[in-house]
Structure 1
Amino acid sequence: MDNPFFFFVLSLASFRLTRLVVYDTITSFLRKPFHEIVEETMLDGTTETFLVVKGEGIRKWIGELLSCYWCTGIWCAGGLYGGYAIWPAVFEPFIVFLAIAGCASFLETIVQKLS
């Protein structure tokens, strides 16, 4: 990769795709078959929420992957870069779209911190 700008764009896209898969509500349907959210009442009366990975074997492996930001990030980065290497006409617009969304999320975080 000789272009630092493309590396930056790919990094932003990977960041945004990873957050989309691991955290965003809109993709919770992807995580639901692999995760269970359990609420537990503590001794002081507060409620704690825990994520429990469902199943065994491949189901558990996917559940663990989807609950780990760093693990999912590696797969997202590899998928985006590999897709771009194999099919750039399709993946380049997708990468740029995700990079714009990633940049917007950084800006929104800054605005929220300053407000």
Structure 2
Amino acid sequence: MSMADSFRRIRSAYAGGEKRPLAGYLASLTSYAALIGVATAVGRRRGVRLPERFPAGDVVLLSVATHKASRLLTKSSVTSVLRAPFTRYDSAAGEAEVNETVRAEGGRHAVGELVTCPFCSGVWVAGALTAGRVLAPRATGLVMTALTAVAASDWLHLGYDRVKRSAAGS
């Protein structure tokens, strides 16, 4: 039995009659692993040593920056142009965000899921920012700080609007 036949049997048994883009998911995982491998090779070639540990403040900065970047990439109205080849606009989803449906099939469907899911893209964003923190710490730190500032600004805007609506209702 060929590898392709084996994969088709596995996909059929897994999907239960549904169209699930397992080949696209495999390509996505392979791409992620390849990018991590490239980052590792670049780091080794440069003689970069991994930090013994990351300070708690860096972990918080990374977390908030990852959250904001993944929301910007997957939900922002402005970045919908990047998702448009894979999605269809459904509706507004609150402050400057949209709901979209994945419209492609196969590998493009897998990409569509990645670019519309902040949880899925968060893994890629965190991986990129972590690699950047090791390979280009100053530039990546600046980007993470800016993303964290935007996230804090968003939360302040939402809080301000809530207070304003509450005061208007009094």
The answer to whether the superposition gives a TM-score over 0.5 is yes
Runs of 4+ with deviation above 6 angstroms: none
CA-atom RMSD, angstroms?
1.8
Residues 1:114 and 1:65: Cα distance change in structure 2 (over 3 Å):
same
Whole-angstrom distance in 1 between the partners of 2:146 and 2:123:
19
Whole-angstrom distance in 1 between the partners of 2:137 and 2:119:
25
Residue 89 (structure 1) shift: 2.8
Describe the superposition over 1:55-109 as per-residue Cα deviations: whole angstroms up to 9, x where unpaired: 2222111101122121112221221112211221321111111111111111112
The size of the alignment, in residue pairs, is: 105
Q: Which has the higher contact order (CA 8 A, sep 6+)?
A: 1
Residue 9 (structure 1) shift: 1.2
Which has the greater radius of gyration?
A: 2
Whole-angstrom distance in 2 between the partners of 1:38 and 1:108:
25
Out of 108, 112, 116, the position equivalent to 1:67 is 116
Query: What is the TM-score of this pair, normalised by structure 2?
Result: 0.56
Whole-angstrom distance in 1 between the partners of 2:102 and 2:64:
28
Ranges in structure 2 where 5+ consecutive residues have no aligned partner: 1-52, 92-98, 165-170
Which residue number in structure 2 is paired with residue 15 of structure 1? 67
Which residue number in structure 2 is paired with residue 6 of structure 1? 58
User: Which one is further off, 52-61 or 92-101?
Assistant: 52-61
Residue 38 (structure 1) shift: 5.4
Higher strand content, 1 or 2: 1
- The one-letter amino acid of 1:5's match is G
Percentage identity across aligned positions?
A: 28
- The one-letter amino acid of 2:134's match is A
